[in-house]
Amino acid sequence: MTSDTDATRPRRRATIADVARAAGVSPSTASVVFSGKAPVAEATKERVLGAAAELGYTGPDPRAASLRRGRSGIVAVAFEEHLRAAFLDPVKTAMMDGLTDALAALGAGVLLLRDDPHAAPDAPTLASAPIDAAVLIGCSPRMRGSLEDVRARRLPVVVIEGDAGQDALRIELDNREAAGQLARHVHGLGHEHVAVVTLPFDSLRERGDADEARIATITTPVTQIRLEAVRAVFPDARVVSAGGSSIDEGLIAGRLLLAEGESRPTAVLAQSDLLAAGVIRAAEEAGLRVPEDVSVAGFDGISVDGLGAHVLTTAVQPAVEKGRAAGEAVARLLAGEPAASIRLTCTFREGTTTGPGPAHR
Amino acid sequence: MTSDTDATRPRRRATIADVARAAGVSPSTASVVFSGKAPVAEATKERVLGAAAELGYTGPDPRAASLRRGRSGIVAVAFEEHLRAAFLDPVKTAMMDGLTDALAALGAGVLLLRDDPHAAPDAPTLASAPIDAAVLIGCSPRMRGSLEDVRARRLPVVVIEGDAGQDALRIELDNREAAGQLARHVHGLGHEHVAVVTLPFDSLRERGDADEARIATITTPVTQIRLEAVRAVFPDARVVSAGGSSIDEGLIAGRLLLAEGESRPTAVLAQSDLLAAGVIRAAEEAGLRVPEDVSVAGFDGISVDGLGAHVLTTAVQPAVEKGRAAGEAVARLLAGEPAASIRLTCTFREGTTTGPGPAHR
DNA sequence: TTGTATGCGTTATCAG
DNA sequence: CTGATAACGCATACAA
């Protein structure tokens, strides 16, 4: 029963010291009641909890506790792109599924961060957020600066699909092998006139045909590696870059590629399933049959809307597993255990969107 | 040039005090150099920065700064379900898109949290995380406890689609009107024998037919309101609950509903588009034509994979806008400005999956 | 089992 | 423009 004379209650929020005083115990005892790090007599505990309730004390201030403990229980997950990328790209959502799963098991909170150079001045960043570790997604050269920030802070870092330094812990895909396998598949079908629709080259995300000079400027590692693998098989392949991984971008690139003309490719290798779906749509628009008139392959192995009866020929990547592996690596790093980089493999899947090329018909 | 005799460098990380001492300035001056909160002579600044570089000081410890400032720059976004729900449910991803957008504009980091009763003991929670505000998604009665925690901490809270208390700031949909509109549409088409496939009733997510008694136990607000609206039009509608919002769950419910028998409904109202897609698939499995043999309506207005040529009759909800509104509400609350609850409206969309019922044929 | 003393690393305030 | 001082709220080592 709260007395009516409580009007003198201090305006500032109660601290654990206030609670201890009200309960007639020492601050350390009160602290232990809340942390449970040591046994406390039942009666004492009740007295402390009672005093806390009375004072409206809701538990230790996490900021102070975090300062004292030296840990915050928070792991940053940093994207290079707009944060929405994490929610609208099916491959990233699958990866986040695995990642949040593993981090939850570790008992860590997930702080979503964008590696934004012109963020609000007081916004949390990899350099300034109260985090215990960081996971960098799609680390391109531009992100290297952030990587250095994190490492300067001596925080554990895991890089997914990125161009990290030598000794950064990386979770990677066998992009080169998988893309090469797709290219060889198409080559084996007798295609010689092949085009590539790539993911963005860099954060500028410029669209359109790319000549050797522009290809040399690619900074996004995934784009670069997958492209190199295809060009190892088809050195003269026409290269068109998309502005992102979406059906619409694929459609734009596909229209460019499949326009009337002798130079029309007989096969298109897209660097993502969404792009491939867009290319197929462009083919249908142009009155071309897939795979009779043009073969199309993707990359990722996600299920795509609007493909109709087609089953995409693609490289199926273990996206959820990729995220989970990153989370588990963070857990090991945080526990001070040794952890090594991991390389996951894709599975080639032959669908109905690739067929014999001119040479084999 | 670092001398080789630096072996005496202290093992512990440098603090701003160390930097200040090395630079021959006071701690407050060094602090200001990093925060930029006050003008500092160029020469002094350089001296401080130089000393910092020398000592490997990477800027103020965010934990200490956060304690001192009383703010962390972090906003929690809490889900009741598994965190993967945020990434695999298209409605939630759209909402997160808007939310992260608005919070980024505010300069706040986003901490993903699951309102998990049996989380790791030291895991961050709504009660213990170093946050400045919280957004609760789909606040059910079980989550009410967490709501109380947050409010006890006197943190600003915004609740999206939840059963919050009187004075919580809420962002809501006109679920009742929208669901009612769908029901009236189907009723107007002459359907009398109608079934409902609902979202989960509660966190148990039990599947299957529900009688009055079970219906009375629904705790998920969205499920409850949308169902009530339909039952206002079709009081005797058969009710089947799904275990989640997915095509697979819709398929399971659809099979149950469309099994051979006289009691087969002529129209099915699903509480989400994904569920509706599953029901349509079940209908096709059973050799039924949509909408000739059975009409199907959904809810959400997302694009769904595998619907073929169908365009779903549904209520299109402004999911992105919902998230953005929540983010903006947080911004206002944090700025101490007045903010009011918001009610967003859905748009009825008549597709090709609903048609005349027996009475009108 | 409980209490005492100390410092975690910073920044706001105010005086110079 | 710079410096001295005083918290911020807590958890731990150690002693009792």
Q: DSSP letter string over A327-354? A: HHHHHHHHTT-----EEE--EEE--SS-
Q: How far apart are CA B113 and CA B137, in angstroms?
A: 10
Tell me if B62 and A113 make a contact (CB, 8 A cut-off).
no
Whether residue A65 lies inside any domain: the answer is: no
C-alpha pair distances (Å), A298 with each of A9, A194, B31, B66: 67, 13, 52, 46
Last residue of a domain, one of A60, A87, A106: A60
Same domain as A197, residue A156:
no
Would you mind telling me the total number of residues written for chain A in this entry? Answer: 361
Of B111, B127, B305, the CB nearest to A305: B305
Among A303, A345, A302, residue whose Cα is nearest residue A321: A345
Please tell me if residue A20 touches chain B, with a CB cutoff of 8 Å.
no
In this complex, the residue with its CA at the shortest distance from the C1' of nucleotide C1 is: A40
Same domain as A353, residue A215:
yes
Q: Where are the alpha helices (DSSP H) in chain A?
A: 16-23, 27-35, 42-55, 62-69, 85-88, 90-105, 141-152, 175-188, 212-215, 221-233, 247-257, 273-285, 319-334
B244 to chain A nearest CA, in Å?
Answer: 16
Residue of chain B whose Cα is closest to the Cα of A13? B153
Three-state DSSP class for residue A178: helix
Tell me if B116 and A93 make a contact (CB, 8 A cut-off).
no
pLDDT value at A348 more than 60:
yes
Provide the number of CB pairs (under 8 Å) joining chain A to chain B. 165
Q: How far apart are CA B125 and CA B112, in angstroms?
A: 10
The reply to whether the CB atom of residue A64 sits less than 7 A from any atom in nucleic acid chain D is yes
Of A84, A124, A305, the CB nearest to B101: A84
Q: According to the model, what pLDDT value does residue A120 have?
A: 73
Give the sign of the dihedral formed by CA A209, CA A213, CA A219, CA A221.
positive
Please tell me if residue B109 touches chain A, with a CB cutoff of 8 Å.
yes
Whether residue A207 lies inside any domain: the answer is: yes
Q: Where are the alpha helices (DSSP H) in A205-246?
A: 212-215, 221-233
Last residue of a domain, one of B13, B28, B60: B60
Q: What is the mean pLDDT of residues A148-160?
A: 90
Task: Tell me the CA–C1' distance in angstroms for B169 and D6.
Answer: 38
Choose the weakest-confidence range: A24-28, A60-64, A138-142, B57-61: A138-142
Whether residue A130 lies inside any domain: the answer is: yes
Amino acid at site A333: L
- Nucleotide nearest B68, CA–C1', reads D8
CATH of the domain at A246: 3.40.50.2300
Task: Tell me the CA–C1' distance in angstroms for B264 and C15.
Answer: 85
The reply to whether the CB atom of residue A15 sits less than 7 A from any atom in nucleic acid chain D is yes
For A129-147, how does the pLDDT look when each residue is reduced to its tens digit (9 = 90+)?
Answer: 999 999 999 867 777 888 8
Among B212, B290, B205, residue whose Cα is nearest residue B252: B205
Q: According to the model, what pLDDT value does residue B11 have?
A: 54
> Residue B124: its chain A contacts at CB < 8 A?
62, 72-74, 108-109
C-alpha pair distances (Å), B113 with each of A111, A290, B77, B78, B297: 9, 45, 6, 5, 33
Terminal alpha carbon distance of chain B: 90
pLDDT value at A8 more than 60:
no
In this complex, the residue with its CA at the shortest distance from the C1' of nucleotide D3 is: B26
User: Which site among A71, A81, A93 would you substitute to test the B interface, given the most B Cβ atoms closer than 10 Å to its Cβ?
Assistant: A93
pLDDT grade for A204, boundaries at 50, 70 and 90: confident
Three-state DSSP class for residue A311: coil
Q: According to the model, what pLDDT value does residue A4 have?
A: 34
Q: According to the model, what pLDDT value does residue B60 have?
A: 93
Please tell me if residue B116 touches chain A, with a CB cutoff of 8 Å.
yes
The reply to whether the CB atom of residue A31 sits less than 7 A from any atom in nucleic acid chain D is yes
A291 to chain B nearest CA, in Å?
Answer: 20
Same domain as A327, residue A304:
no
C-alpha pair distances (Å), B24 with each of A263, A271, B11, B171, B213: 70, 56, 21, 53, 76
Provide, rounded to the nearest whole percent, the portion of chain A with pLDDT above 70: 95
A49 to chain B nearest CA, in Å?
Answer: 15
pLDDT tens by residue, chain B, 361 residues: 333 334 444 556 899 999 999 999 999 999 999 988 888 899 999 999 999 999 999 999 999 999 999 999 999 999 987 887 788 888 999 999 999 999 988 889 999 998 776 667 778 889 889 999 999 998 677 778 888 888 888 899 999 988 777 778 999 999 999 999 999 999 999 999 999 999 999 888 999 999 999 999 999 999 999 999 999 999 999 999 999 998 899 999 999 999 987 789 999 999 999 999 999 999 999 999 999 999 999 999 988 767 778 999 999 999 999 999 999 999 999 988 889 999 999 999 999 999 999 877 7
Q: What is the mean pLDDT of residues A248-265?
A: 91
Amino acid at site B176: R
The answer to whether the beta carbons of residues B83 and B115 sit under 8 Å apart is: no
Q: According to the model, what pLDDT value does residue A72 have?
A: 92
C-alpha pair distances (Å), B243 with each of B118, B257, B275: 21, 15, 10
Q: How far apart are CA B168 and CA B161, in angstroms?
A: 12
Number of domains chain B is built from: 3
Same domain as B100, residue B140:
yes
Q: How far apart are CA A168 and CA B82, in angstroms?
A: 30
Last residue of a domain, one of A60, A84, A104: A60
Q: Average pLDDT of chain A?
A: 90
> Cis (ω within 30 of 0) for the bond into A291?
yes
Domain of residue A47: give its range.
Answer: 4-60
Whether residue B103 lies inside any domain: the answer is: yes
Of B74, B105, B152, the CB nearest to A56: B152
pLDDT grade for A1, boundaries at 50, 70 and 90: very low
Same domain as A165, residue A183:
no
Please tell me if residue A246 touches chain B, with a CB cutoff of 8 Å.
no
> Residue A131: its chain B contacts at CB < 8 A?
62
C-alpha pair distances (Å), B209 with each of B239, B241, B315: 6, 6, 24
The answer to whether the beta carbons of residues A120 and A182 sit under 8 Å apart is: no
What is the per-residue burial (b if ≥16 Cβ within 10 Å, else e) of A75-112?
Answer: bbbbbbbebbbbbbbbbbbbbbbbbbbbbbebebbbbb
The answer to whether the beta carbons of residues B353 and B311 sit under 8 Å apart is: yes
Any idea what DSSP says for residue A300?
A: B
Q: According to the model, what pLDDT value does residue B87 have?
A: 85
C-alpha pair distances (Å), A238 with each of A195, A196, A230, A256, A270: 5, 6, 11, 11, 12
Same domain as A116, residue A56:
no
Q: According to the model, what pLDDT value does residue A139 have?
A: 66
Any idea what DSSP says for residue B360?
A: G
> Residue A129: its chain B contacts at CB < 8 A?
62, 73-74, 109
Tell me if A123 and B100 make a contact (CB, 8 A cut-off).
no
A76 to chain B nearest CA, in Å?
Answer: 9
Whether residue B307 lies inside any domain: the answer is: yes
Those of residues 25-64 in B touching chain A at CB distance below 8 A are 36, 56, 58-64
Q: How far apart are CA B7 and CA B258, in angstroms?
A: 78
Q: Where are the alpha helices (DSSP H) in chain B?
A: 16-23, 27-35, 42-55, 62-69, 85-88, 90-105, 141-152, 175-188, 212-215, 221-233, 247-257, 273-285, 319-334
Of B63, B96, B127, the CB nearest to A130: B63
Q: What is the dihedral of CA A236, A238, A243, A247, to 10 degrees?
A: -120
Alpha carbon B12 to its chain centroid, in Å, reads: 42
The reply to whether the CB atom of residue B358 sits less than 7 A from any atom in nucleic acid chain D is no
Whether residue B65 lies inside any domain: the answer is: no
Same domain as A194, residue A49:
no
The answer to whether the beta carbons of residues A171 and A340 sit under 8 Å apart is: no
Any idea what DSSP says for residue A200?
A: P
Q: According to the model, what pLDDT value does residue B7 have?
A: 40
Q: How far apart are CA B154 and CA A179, in angstroms?
A: 53
B339 to chain A nearest CA, in Å?
Answer: 23
Amino acid at site A108: A
Q: According to the model, what pLDDT value does residue A237 have?
A: 96
Read out DSSP for B286-304?
Answer: TT--TTTT-EEE-SB----
Of A100, A111, A305, the CB nearest to B109: A111
The overall longest dimension of chain A from CA atoms, in Å, is 96
Q: According to the model, what pLDDT value does residue A67 have?
A: 93
A237 to chain B nearest CA, in Å?
Answer: 32
Same domain as B356, residue B221:
yes
Task: Tell me the CA–C1' distance in angstroms for A168 and D9.
Answer: 36
Q: What is the mean pLDDT of residues A327-343?
A: 92
Predicted TM-score of the model (pTM)? 0.89
Burial of residue B10 (number of CB atoms within 10 Å: 0-12, 13-18, 19+) = exposed
Whether residue B138 lies inside any domain: the answer is: yes
A311 to chain B nearest CA, in Å?
Answer: 12
User: Which site among B11, B55, B72 would you substitute to test the A interface, given the most A Cβ atoms closer than 10 Å to its Cβ?
Assistant: B72
Q: What is the mean pLDDT of residues A107-121?
A: 82
The answer to whether the beta carbons of residues A134 and A164 sit under 8 Å apart is: no
Q: According to the model, what pLDDT value does residue B1 have?
A: 37
Residues 6+ apart with CB under 8 A from A335: none
Among A270, A249, A320, residue whose Cα is nearest residue A101: A320
Q: According to the model, what pLDDT value does residue B117 have?
A: 65
The answer to whether the beta carbons of residues B262 and B238 sit under 8 Å apart is: no
Kindly list the strands in the beta sheet with B267-270, ordered across the sheet, starting from the edge strand earlier in the chain: B208-209, B238-241, B194-198, B267-270, B295-297
Tell me if B154 and A88 make a contact (CB, 8 A cut-off).
no
List protein-proximal bases of chain D (any atom < 7 A from a CB). Answer: 1-13
Alpha carbon A58 to its chain centroid, in Å, reads: 35
User: Which site among A19, A49, A55, A63 would you substitute to test the B interface, given the most B Cβ atoms closer than 10 Å to its Cβ?
Assistant: A63
Tell me if A87 and B96 make a contact (CB, 8 A cut-off).
yes
Same domain as A15, residue A161:
no
Q: According to the model, what pLDDT value does residue A7 have?
A: 38
CATH of the domain at A45: 1.10.260.40
Tell me if A129 and B109 make a contact (CB, 8 A cut-off).
yes
Whether residue B89 lies inside any domain: the answer is: yes
Same domain as B226, residue B352:
yes
Strand pairing partners for A314? A349
Tell me if A129 and B74 make a contact (CB, 8 A cut-off).
yes
Same domain as B216, residue B354:
yes
Looking at chain A, the number of H-run helices and the number of E-run strands are 13, 13
Of A73, A152, A305, the CB nearest to B122: A73
What are the respective helix, strand and coil percentages of chain A, to the nearest 5? 40, 15, 45
Same domain as A44, residue A124:
no
- Nucleotide nearest B63, CA–C1', reads C9
Choose the weakest-confidence range: A48-57, A113-122, A309-318: A113-122
The reply to whether the CB atom of residue B44 sits less than 7 A from any atom in nucleic acid chain D is yes
Please tell me if residue B317 touches chain A, with a CB cutoff of 8 Å.
no
Residues 6+ apart with CB under 8 A from A85: A79, A92
